[in-house]
Amino acid sequence: MISMLDLQAQYQSLKPEIDKAVARCFLHQQWILGPEIKELEKQTASYLGVQHSIGASSGTDALIIALRALAIKTKGREFFDREDKIITTPFTFTATGGAIVHAGATPLFVDIDPNTFNLNPDLVAKALKTVPNVVGILPVHLYGQACDMDAILGLAKQYNVFVVEDVAQGFGATWNNKKIGSIGHMGAFSFFPSKNLGGCGDGGLIATDDDHLAELSHLLVKHGAKEKYNAIHLGYNARLDTLQAAILLAKLPVIDEWNERRRKIADKYNEAFKGLADLIIPSPLASEHVYHQYTLRVLNDKREALQQYLKEQGISSMIYYPIPLHKMKVFAEYGQVFGKLNYSEQLAEQVLSLPIEPLMNDEEVQQVIRTVHEFLHV
Ligand SMILES: *Cc1c(COP(=O)(O)O)cnc(C)c1O
């Protein structure tokens, strides 16, 4: 059986470091905002090349808090208004759109570029030009591949709107040699166990160079209070766990190595699958892709049959994501669409992600390749 990821293998490969880190927490018993939180914030800020990094309880909470901090800073109010629109992609995980609604604003869904799976900057430009009350852009670096951040930042400057990056799938990826998540006004990361840098439970992180936004984020993760029992803002109980920070500190030293291994596996897949009539392989821009997912487009209505064949041969595969956000009941009510979202809808029917676990061996990679070739009679 070849699975999408192998958390047991990841644990076994770092067992002494993780066990030691967990044991240390039991000795100091500082479960809430213990010393590991500050250490992780320091090390991730330095790794990402940002002034501030703030632990949060999940990637979703990191997104919500980043947006809430921007509402407070830019509007002087706790929440955005329903009239405030934030441009984002419908081809993402639910939490991206949900966070915008939780922060009080309306997601404005703009179609993707089918080559990158990410927001199409030309359409973002059109939306900014024609739709009133756009306050921000929330690009998602889907599958670990950077969006065109030059274009997005250029537009943000031109129209004076903020940029919050959803970097849940892209820890360690770069755009023109800058770590993604450090390029917009704020970046929101997830440490969900399956992410490239994953904890043993939920966790997240906010990254920013802005002192004020960092201070607001620190307040919002702990009830909006500077002094413990005197809240200034409407905050959350959304701190990162000490235990998760300890485990993440043990895994951080190998993230580059594991991302590099993901790229090596992707290279083998690309080499094996390029030019095949029924498949389109990923085509990264000027960026270092971290292949949170290796995602093919399967053409000619063959996706379901391919997935079934892989399953029969003991190989897992996944569809990220089968339903674009604007097609979901909640976002039909709380979101807005910009024009036709044809590519998002088309790709939802075509995408298939193959196993790309950093600790899978070359024989397993070859087995996946052979099985796909068999199915396609290559
Ligand atoms: C995982 C993910 C999130 C949410 O992160 P959680 O830690 O699960 O809350 C948000 N956006 C994207 C694109 C994700 O993949």
Of all protein residues, the one whose alpha carbon is nearest to atom 2 of ligand 1 is 168
Average pLDDT over residues 104-114: 98
How many other C-beta atoms can be found within 10 angstroms of the C-beta atom of residue 44?
25
Rounded Cα–Cα distance for residues 107 and 90 (Å): 9
Q: Convert the pLDDT of each residue in 31-78 to its tens digit.
A: 999 999 999 999 999 999 999 999 999 999 999 999 999 999 999 999
Q: Convert the pLDDT of each residue in 220-269 to its tens digit.
A: 999 999 888 999 999 999 999 999 999 999 999 999 999 999 999 999 99
**Residues with a CB atom less than 6 Å from ligand 1:** 58-60, 92-93, 95-96, 140, 166, 168-169, 190, 192, 202, 204
- Ligand 1: which of 88, 192, 318 to mutate, most ligand atoms within 8 Å of CB? 192
| Ligand 1 atom with least separation from CA of 142 | 13
pTM of the model: 0.97
Whether 19 has a pLDDT exceeding 70, the answer reads yes
CB contact at 8 A, 110 and 124: yes
Distance (Å) from CA 95 to ligand 1 centroid:
6
Longest dimension (CA), the chain: 68
Distance (Å) from CA 241 to ligand 1 centroid:
17
Name 241's bridge partners: 32
Whether 302 has a pLDDT exceeding 90, the answer reads yes
At residue 378, the pLDDT reads 85
- Ligand 1: which of 5, 60, 196, 290 to mutate, most ligand atoms within 8 Å of CB? 60
Distance (Å) from CA 204 to ligand 1 centroid:
9
Whether 271 has a pLDDT exceeding 90, the answer reads yes
At residue 286, the pLDDT reads 63
Torsion angle of alpha carbons 15, 19, 22, 26, nearest 10°?
A: 170
| Ligand 1 atom with least separation from CA of 195 | 1
Of all protein residues, the one whose alpha carbon is nearest to atom 14 of ligand 1 is 168
